[in-house]
Chains A and B, each alone.
Chain A
Amino acid sequence: MTRLFLAAGVAALAITMPASAKPGGGHGGGKDRQVSAQERGGGQAVKARGGGGGKAVRAQDRGGGNALRMQSRGGRQAVQQRSFQRGGESQRRSFALQERGHGRAKALADRPNRGSMKAQRVQQREVRSVERGRDNRFVQREAPKFERQQARGKDLDRRIDRRFDRSEKRIDLARNREILRNELRANRIERLDNGIFVRDARNGPRLLRAEDFGDRARGWGVGGCPPGLVSKGCMPPGQAAKLLGTPLSAAARFAAFDDVPYSIRYLYPDTDDYFYRFGNGYLYRVDRDDSLISALLPLAFGGFMPGSYLPNYYMSSPYYGMSSFYPTSYGFNSFYRDYGDDCHRYGNGVIYEVDCFTGFVEDAIPLYAGGYGVGQILPAGYGYYNVPYQYRSLYYDTSDYGYWYAPGAIYQYDPSSSLITSVAALLSPGFNIGQPLPMGYDVYNVPYAYRSTYFDSPTAMYRYNNGYIYQVDPTTMLVTAIVASILT
């Protein structure tokens, strides 16, 4: 009702004042609120515009006349908003009008006072409702807090319970462990008393009987084999030799026999007279007539594993020493020199790094040239890919075949059995830039496809070696450049 009166009052004012009203752009859109007061000359003018429901209030004093213009374009909302503003400005304005003694202006000035009272009531109502809302929110906010506190309390209880359980369990475990330890200690003492060899492996206590190994129960690891080679089949040569002439079943005690892998069966074909079995690093040739082992072929390291001992004749004879080393041109003699207690011996295509005094094999480096090759087992520690860069696009590991580089050759091997199936490539040592052309490479040997490009001339010579074509200076006979890589 009050609103209606207010609206009517404003409408009346709008009707009574049109003559002095100037058209003004209602720029009050949005929430912009501008209050500007300009005083020009001595006159005052108050102009209020509420365009489009906006909140723009502008007071302008122009000329000498007093005028109050109010344009209500935004209807009721604009009026309400304007009346809402009266707390400060409108009152100030009305007082100013009253002071000037304009009766009309005075009458108009009373209205905003009434409006302001109403607005105060509205404000109070709103404040009350807001406070009510706050109360509700407080309740809403506090309720979960309370629940959370309750939950926390429950959690704490549970945690305390768990802690208690755990400490109880710990005590139980400690008790059990003590009992177990005592049992083990008692067992060990009992077994030692009975003369049985006991060995503790890294992965936990294991009790092994010496009689299970016989002569093998000494040396490095089980039976003198390095730990990694046990599964690959490792048997000291002395033990292996004893198996000659024995039935295969006797050897089965030491080795898990298997058929020769298919990939290398062509190298060890069964005949009417004998057949082969493979296991423990050796190939066993069995005579079909009497089923006795007639031959043993070492497939790994020529029979001498790291951790075993080279026989005396290897250690004392110069025939097996590095002076007899086969691939002299590869520079191994200078590379593997004896120093201190560290000696090198060569045999069966393998360089053995041994203790000079005991013959204990510390390492075995397989070489191709001496016969280390197809049909032999790739050592357990040599399963990683090491093919030289220029050959990698040609020889890469697949699920069927792996490739392994050793000086002089790239081998193809069967990943499942680690047996070398073929020699993928024979490699020469290669040249270094700046070195003299080695003996034996004086002859032109560039492959066909490159001969039209790289041919010998008075200014340059070309030689193929190890996948590359090298340029050689004919005057100095020094290798000057690699001019082509023919494999990559």
Chain B
Amino acid sequence: MRTQGLTIGLVATLIAAGGCNNQAGDNRTAAQTPEARKAAGSKTIAAGLTQDTRFMAAAKAAGLDQTLAGPNPYTVLVPDDAAFAKAPEGMLDTKPENRAQLTGVLTNLILPGVVLAADIDKAIERGKGKAVFATMGGGTLTATKEGGKIVFTDAKGNKATVTRADDNYSNGAVHHVDAVLMPADDAEVPPAKAG
């Protein structure tokens, strides 16, 4: 009888402690509101993007389609097919031997976290006309406002204008751009010279 009483008391204490932990520690539960989930949508970036585009073909060749299907949040600047056509010849080739270079280009178009157009605007305002973004490739992009549109500039001076912003997915956001932004020269990898 006495043991039973002790056990019940212990269980009650544990439940109470667990309740306290839930309230105090798990920020995720508190933060994920139904509205937030609805806004994010149910599709991932990899599933939501049109599959037969050159960007997706390049992402698959570089193995990045799995990355964009994962739970980590990213913001992707997606050049349209016309932009791919304008890129230097061979630069975005999906051949296996070109994979290193292709990966370097694509990771330069991916930003950590979720950055919406409004956030970019605010950052530009705060930065007195420009904002710098770190990319997953280790480089940086600079955002400015030109004619009311957001324009990204890469290290080489190539510019890409955001044509459609804020495509929201469960694991991030996508902004469509009209040009391919390149990584810095030192980021370019020399071709493999075996022997």
Point out residues on A near B: beta carbons under 8 Å.
237-238, 240-242, 266-268, 283, 295-298, 302-303, 311, 313, 319-320, 323-330, 347-349, 368-375, 394, 408, 412, 420-428, 438-454, 463-467, 483-487
Digit string of B143-174 for contact with A (CB within 8 Å is 1, else 0)? 00000000000000000000000001000100
Whether B96 pairs with A447 at a CB distance below 8 angstroms is no
Q: Which residues of A contact B186 (CB under 8 A)?
A: 323-326, 328
User: How many chain B residues touch the partner (CB < 8 A)?
Assistant: 66
- A339 vs B115: C-alpha distance when bound (angstroms): 41
CB-CB < 8 A to B123: which residues of A? Answer: 442-444
Q: Does B101 contact A (CB under 8 A)?
A: yes
Q: Which residues of A contact B96 (CB under 8 A)?
A: 267-268, 283, 297, 375
- Nearest chain B residue, comparing its CB with the CB of A409: B67
Interface locus among B8-16, B27-35, B81-89: B27-35
Pairs A–B under 8 Å by Cβ, sample size 9:
A267-B96, A329-B138, A349-B189, A371-B99, A426-B64, A439-B132, A442-B131, A449-B33, A464-B112
Contact across chains for A374 and B62 when beta carbons are under 8 A apart: yes
B56 within 8 A of A: no
CB <8 Å contact, A237 and B195 = yes
Minimal Cβ-Cβ distance residue in B for A330:
B138
Q: How far is it, in angstroms, between the C-alpha of A452 and the C-alpha of B134 when the chains are bound?
A: 24
- The answer on a CB contact under 8 Å between B97 and A440 is no
Residues of A within 8 A of B35 (CB): 452
Cross-chain contact B132 with A444 (CB below 8 angstroms): no
Contacts A422-B66, A425-B72, A426-B74; A448 near B40 (Cβ below 8 A): yes
Residue of B nearest to A264 (CB): B63
A463 cross-chain contacts in B, Cβ below 8 A: 113
Query: CB distance B72 to A467 under 8 Å?
Result: yes
Q: Which residues of A contact B43 (CB under 8 A)?
A: none
Q: Are B101 and A426 in contact (CB under 8 A)?
A: no
Chain B residues whose C-beta falls within 8 Å of the C-beta of A425 in the assembled complex: 67, 70, 72
* Chain B neighbourhood of A295, CB < 8 A: 97
Distance between A229 CB and nearest chain B CB, rounded to angstroms: 16
Q: How many angstroms between the C-alpha atoms of A475 and B140 in the bound complex?
A: 24
Contacts beyond the supplied A329-B139, A452-B31: 10 A-B pairs with Cβ under 8 Å:
A297-B96, A327-B137, A348-B100, A372-B100, A373-B103, A423-B66, A444-B123, A445-B113, A446-B114, A453-B31
Contact A369 B120 (CB under 8 A): no
B132 A302 Cβ-Cβ under 8 A: no
Q: What separation, in Å, do the CA atoms of A449 and B194 have in the docked complex?
A: 48
Cβ–Cβ < 8 Å partners of B120 in chain A: 443
Measured CA separation A187–B103 after assembly (Å): 56
Within the assembled complex, what's the spacing in Å between the Cα atoms of A480 and B64? 32
Q: What's the Cα separation between A238 and B186 when bound, in Å?
A: 27
How many angstroms between the C-alpha atoms of A370 and B107 in the bound complex?
10
Task: Write out the residue numbers on chain B whose beta carbons fall within 8 Å of the beta carbon of A446.
Answer: 113-114
Which of A412, A426, A447 is close to B136, meaning CB atoms less than 8 Å apart? A426
Measured CB to CB, the closest approach of chain A to B141, in angstroms, equals 8
CB of B104 within 8 A of chain A? yes
A447 to B169, alpha carbons, bound, how many Å? Answer: 10
Are the CB atoms of B190 and A347 closer together than 8 Å?
A: yes
**Contact B70 A349, beta carbon cutoff 8 Å:** no
**Shortest distance from the beta carbon of B79 to any chain A beta carbon, whole Å:** 18
Contact (Cβ within 8 A) B72 A487: yes
Q: Is the CB of A445 within 8 A of B138?
A: no
Q: In the assembled complex, which residues on chain B have CB atoms less than 8 Å from the CB atom of A428?
A: 112, 134, 136
Decide: B100 and A370 in contact? CB cutoff 8 A: yes
Kindly name the residue among B39, B67, B127, B138 whose own CB sees the greatest number of chain A CB atoms within 10 A: B138
| A-contact 0/1 string along B96-124, CB 8 Å cutoff | 11011101100100111111000110110
- Within 8 Å by CB of B103, from A371, A464, A467, lies A371
Among A320, A326, A371, A442, the residue within 8 A (CB) of B126 is A442
Query: Roughly how many angstroms separate A407 CA and B104 CA in the complex, as a whole number?
Result: 14
**Contact status A464-B114, CB under 8 Å:** yes
Chain B residues with CB under 8 Å of A242's CB are 195
Q: Give complex CA distance A463, B96 in Å.
A: 36
A442 touches B132 (CB 8 A): yes
Q: Are B134 and A439 in contact (CB under 8 A)?
A: yes
Q: Knowing A330-B138, A425-B70, A483-B27 touch, does A449 contact B104 (C-beta < 8 A)?
A: no
Question: Which residues of B are found within 8 Å of A486, using beta-carbon distances?
Answer: 28, 73
Known: A443-B123, A445-B115. A408 touches B27 (CB 8 A): no
A483→B30 CA distance, assembly (Å): 12
B31–A449 touching, CB < 8 Å: yes
Query: How distant is A378 from chain B, measured CB to nearest CB, in Å?
Result: 13
Question: Is B49 at the interface (CB under 8 A from chain A)?
Answer: no
Residue contact B119 to A453, C-beta cutoff 8 Å: no
- Residues from chain A with a CB closer than 8 A to the CB of B113 are 445-447, 463-465
Residues of chain A within 8 A of B122, CB atoms compared: 443-444
Q: Are B187 and A448 neighbours in the complex by a CB distance under 8 Å?
A: no
Given contacts A348-B100, A371-B104, contact A424 B31 (CB under 8 A): no
Q: Chain A residue with minimal CB distance to B100?
A: A371
Given A412-B66, A452-B31, CB of A444 within 8 Å of CB of B103:
no
* B176 at the binding interface (Cβ < 8 Å): no
Asked whether, in the complex, the Cβ of B115 is within 8 Å of the Cβ of A443, the reply is yes
Please measure, in the bound complex, the distance between the C-alpha atom of A408 and the C-alpha atom of B110, giving whole angstroms: 13
Beta-carbon nearest neighbor of B123 in chain A: A443
Pair A466/B194 contact, Cβ less than 8 Å: no
CA distance A438 to B132 in the complex (A): 10
- CA–CA, A408 to B32, complex, Å? 28
CB-nearest residue of chain A to B122: A444
In the complex the two chains form, is A447's CB within 8 Å of B100's CB?
A: no
In angstroms, Cα B171 to Cα A189, docked, is 70
Task: Name the B residues within 8 Å of A324 (CB-CB).
Answer: 186
A348 contacts B189, CB within 8 Å? yes
